[in-house]
Amino acid sequence: MKTSLDCLPCFVRQTLDAARMVSTDPAFHESFLREILARITEMSLDTAPAVFGRELHRRIRGLSGRGDPYREAKERQNLFALALMPGLREEISAAPDPLILAARLAAAGNVIDLGAPGAISETSVRESIAQAMTRPLVGEENGFREEILSAENILYLADNAGEIVMDRLFIERLGPSRVTVAVRGGPILNDATRADARAAGLAEIVEIIDNGSDAPGTLLEDCSPEFLRRFEAADLVLAKGQGNFETLAGHPKNIFFLFKVKCPVIAAEAGAPVGAHVLIRSAGAQGRLA
Amino acid sequence: MKTSLDCLPCFVRQTLDAARMVSTDPAFHESFLREILARITEMSLDTAPAVFGRELHRRIRGLSGRGDPYREAKERQNLFALALMPGLREEISAAPDPLILAARLAAAGNVIDLGAPGAISETSVRESIAQAMTRPLVGEENGFREEILSAENILYLADNAGEIVMDRLFIERLGPSRVTVAVRGGPILNDATRADARAAGLAEIVEIIDNGSDAPGTLLEDCSPEFLRRFEAADLVLAKGQGNFETLAGHPKNIFFLFKVKCPVIAAEAGAPVGAHVLIRSAGAQGRLA
């Protein structure tokens, strides 16, 4: 999807958030905000919002001299989610439909997104989990259940740190032997990289690859040839998070998007309200003939 | 108060809201947004946010050729509030402390603010009224009660259409003979002008003046000499809304600010959370000796 005019106020807020993540100096916050405002004034709206996110965070990493300003935040998010993991695994085992509860909890974990508006707290994660326990995913739970029976080669596109621990529980139910997990190729916001996949213990059960890109989504033109080969070879792609949805929605590949709706622009695109946990099939895949 | 960096994302959103208020053409929305983004990139942060609001809305009125794009919205807001008025007046009469309940309801009416983030609905007004019925104002209810006993010449600075109907109920309790109501001197957002004061029936019970300015607040340097004379002569000023708070807070005059907190920047300045209904004395007045 392209960038909406409604993304622009949010880009300004993200810019301020990023400046404050790397510095406590108000003069730096102001000069960085003015620099990026000038960029936003001129920017094309023809690309996905993730293109802006990539440029913003490249610039803030360059200016701050910090290769991964969100590293500590990501570690805290992983540790918090790891502490929840045993209890959630028990809930999944005891559920009437463990696969679908695991999918719902993986969607709940998508609340841990430092790019979205609003602060993330342990409370908001617990509320999101409670929502997953009681409400079906908006979209294609049944279509997904059927599709998953025949999939042999599943590519799982992870989104954020912390969340990736819930992804692990879902992958345990999908059957790890047919799953490959792809993380971002470089640091961007709190998006999961190889370090987070390791922290979640995923490296012990599945193959981990990265996509070669530091965009907060999957910009295929930005991804490595190896990733593209794996993407091509998969018979089912599971894509977590708004960033993967905004960059891959409409792709002809057989993709299911699993995420929490966190902004009105994505809500309009997904046809579900802000706050909803959704499981949506790629618009391209919906037109497939077998 | 000065403009915070946190105001800038909100300015971008306000710009988009204003563009959509006067036109359904996405090309106009985009060109207007880019024009104002360029302005925001360069703007000084040394003035109150109301200075930006004034310029933004002058420009949108100029481009649209509409003298008061919010006129119909204001009329709907007045009619809605007028329908609530008889019931609210009965509640006030039956209350143990009618003056303070009337003040709380006047604060509740401040939810009807088209400059603030989030849509206004009849539901949000009813929720705000329910909050006023059950919770004290954050701040100086008692100090206000004392001060009001001795005030002889009260200048009441109105804020928005619709809200001004609740102001009328409060003014009935203050004693209209000692009250003058000031509205904005020209159209700006849904701020009340003379037409709204008339719609609320205020002209029948008090003198109405305007401040000579089209800013969404009270920028004294922008106000008419006649308004300044009345401001000077008042022994108590009651200032409604965030705009009047941000432009007059810290003034040495004896001012009470009455409003609903609608953004984090004002929340920090007022020392009360977003959503709170507050009654705050001017920081300047707090240091007065007798």
What tens digit of pLDDT does each residue of B235-255 get?
999 999 999 999 999 999 999
Contacts of B41 in chain A (CB under 8 A): 34, 37-38, 41
Q: Are residues B41 and B114 in the same domain?
A: no
Q: How high is the pLDDT of residue A288?
A: 52
Put simply, the chain B residues between 4 and 23 with a CB less than 8 A from any chain A CB are 5-6, 8-10, 12-13, 16
Closest-CA distance of chain A to residue B35, Å:
8
Contacts of A16 in chain B (CB under 8 A): 5-6, 8-9
B42 HSE (CA, 13 A, CB side): 6
Is the Cβ pair B13, A9 closer than 8 Å?
yes
Contacts of B33 in chain A (CB under 8 A): 5, 8
Domain final residue, candidates B64, B96, B112: B64
pLDDT surpassing 60 at residue B287: no
Rounded to 10 deg, the angle between the A163-174 and A71-94 helix axes is: 40
Q: Are residues A19 and A126 in the same domain?
A: no
* CB-based contacts of B170, cutoff 8 Å, min separation 6: B102, B103, B105, B106
A275 touches chain B (CB under 8 A): no
Q: Identify the residue among A6, A30, A40, A43 best suited for mutation to test binding to B, counting B beta carbons within 10 A and taking the highest.
A: A40
Structure tokens given for A186:
């470089």
Is the Cβ pair B9, A6 closer than 8 Å?
no
pLDDT digit string, tens, across residues B9-50:
999 999 999 999 999 999 999 999 999 999 999 999 999 999
Q: Terminal CA-to-CA distance of chain A, rounded, Å? A: 25
Q: Are residues A56 and A78 in the same domain?
A: no
CATH code, domain with B281: 3.40.50.10880
In a domain, A2, yes or no: no
In a domain, A109, yes or no: yes
Q: Are residues A95 and A135 in the same domain?
A: yes
Separation between Cα atoms, residue A20 and residue A54, nearest integer Å: 17
For all residues of chain B together, what is the average pLDDT? 95
In a domain, B2, yes or no: no
Question: What are the C-alpha distances in Å from B104 to residues A113, A209, A257, B86, B157?
Answer: 38, 59, 47, 16, 16
Distance of CA A1 to the CA centre of its chain: 16
Q: Are residues B21 and B103 in the same domain?
A: no
In a domain, B71, yes or no: no
Q: How high is the pLDDT of residue A275?
A: 96
Q: Are residues B125 and B238 in the same domain?
A: yes
Q: How high is the pLDDT of residue A286?
A: 58
Q: Are residues A124 and A169 in the same domain?
A: yes
B41 touches chain A (CB under 8 A): yes
A143 HSE (CA, 13 A, CB side): 16
Separation between Cα atoms, residue B211 and residue A205, nearest integer Å: 71
ipTM: 0.89
Closest CA to A189 of A21, A36, A45, A2: A21
In a domain, B40, yes or no: yes
Q: Are residues A158 and A32 in the same domain?
A: no
Separation between Cα atoms, residue A160 and residue A177, nearest integer Å: 22
Q: How high is the pLDDT of residue A114?
A: 84
Range of the domain at B86: 77-286
Structure tokens given for B54:
């004034």
Q: Are residues A59 and A82 in the same domain?
A: no
Is the Cβ pair B41, A45 closer than 8 Å?
no
Q: What are phi and psi of A48, to 5 degrees?
A: -70, 155
**CA-atom Rg of chain A in angstroms:** 18
Is the Cβ pair A16, B9 closer than 8 Å?
yes
Separation between Cα atoms, residue A123 and residue A125, nearest integer Å: 5
Closest-CA distance of chain A to residue B9, Å:
5
Q: Are residues A80 and A179 in the same domain?
A: yes
Question: What are the C-alpha distances in Å from A156 to residues A145, A236, A258?
Answer: 16, 9, 11
Does residue A233 contact residue A154 with C-beta atoms inside 8 Å?
no
Separation between Cα atoms, residue B110 and residue B254, nearest integer Å: 21
pLDDT digit string, tens, across residues B198-230:
999 999 999 999 999 999 999 999 999 999 999
Reported pTM: 0.91
Q: Identify the residue among B8, B31, B36, B42 best suited for mutation to test binding to A, counting A beta carbons within 10 A and taking the highest.
A: B8
In a domain, B280, yes or no: yes
Contacts of A8 in chain B (CB under 8 A): 12, 16, 33, 37
Q: Identify the residue among B23, B40, B45 best suited for mutation to test binding to A, counting A beta carbons within 10 A and taking the highest.
A: B40
B131 HSE (CA, 13 A, CB side): 19
The dihedral through the CA atoms of A272, A273, A278, A284 has a sign that is: positive
pLDDT tens, N- to C-terminus, chain A (290 residues): 999 999 999 999 999 999 999 999 999 999 999 999 999 999 999 999 999 999 999 999 999 999 999 999 999 999 999 999 999 999 999 999 999 999 999 999 999 988 777 777 889 999 999 999 999 999 999 999 999 999 999 999 999 999 999 999 999 999 999 999 999 999 999 999 999 999 999 999 999 999 999 999 999 999 999 999 999 999 999 999 999 999 999 999 999 999 999 999 999 999 999 999 999 999 766 555 44
Name which of B10, B30, B42 is nearest A5 (Cβ-Cβ).
Answer: B30
pLDDT surpassing 90 at residue B109: yes
Structure tokens given for B119:
């849509």
Q: Are residues A266 and A208 in the same domain?
A: yes
Contacts of B26 in chain A (CB under 8 A): 5
Q: How many domains does chain A have?
A: 2
Structure tokens given for A271:
């046809």
B203 touches chain A (CB under 8 A): no
In a domain, A194, yes or no: yes
In a domain, B211, yes or no: yes
Q: How high is the pLDDT of residue B286?
A: 58
Torsion of CA A17, A19, A22, A26, to 10 degrees: -110
Q: How high is the pLDDT of residue A290?
A: 42
Q: Are residues B57 and B88 in the same domain?
A: no
pLDDT digit string, tens, across residues B129-146:
999 999 999 999 999 999
Within 10 A of A86 (CB to CB), how many other CB atoms are there? 9
Q: How high is the pLDDT of residue B256?
A: 98
Question: What are the C-alpha distances in Å from A129 to residues A133, A191, A192, A274, B108?
Answer: 6, 20, 20, 16, 34
Q: In what order do the strands lie in the sheet with B138-139?
A: B138-139, B277-281, B255-260, B236-240, B154-157, B179-183, B207-210
Is the Cβ pair A12, B9 closer than 8 Å?
yes
